[in-house]
Amino acid sequence: MDRYWRHQLSGEVYAVKISNGDVVAVVGPLHHSEYGDLRADSLGDYNYTSEDVDWIVEHNGEFRDVTKCKGGANESGIRSV
């Protein structure tokens, strides 16, 4: 599952790949021109790496899921991860 996560302190947005509940790859921070309206259907377009996974996991309480589903609403509600 791929998601957009916003870092609450900096406002930066990351594309995060999750497998079996674990963060396995990430891209970011992304420029606003790269993520547009935060729609889930654009998440597969990134070249994910494992480079920042440890940092994302270590600071996971500082992120919120801001991914939007096809209808434009937040798929799971904005929540802490």
> What is the domain range of residue 75?
2-80
Q: What is the reported pTM?
A: 0.81
Four-residue CA torsion sign, 46, 37, 31, 52: negative
Return d(Cα 21, Cα 60) in angstroms, integer. 13
Report residue 48 as tokens: 């994910």
Return d(Cα 1, Cα 18) in angstroms, integer. 5
Angle (nearest 5°) at CA 21 between 70 and 35: 35
Residues 15-62: pLDDT tens digits?
999 999 999 999 999 998 888 888 888 888 889 999 999 999 999 999
Domain count, the chain: 1
Position 41 scores a pLDDT of 82
Residues 2-14: pLDDT tens digits?
999 999 999 999 9
Stretch 70-78: mean pLDDT: 46
Tokens 């990134």, residue located: 46
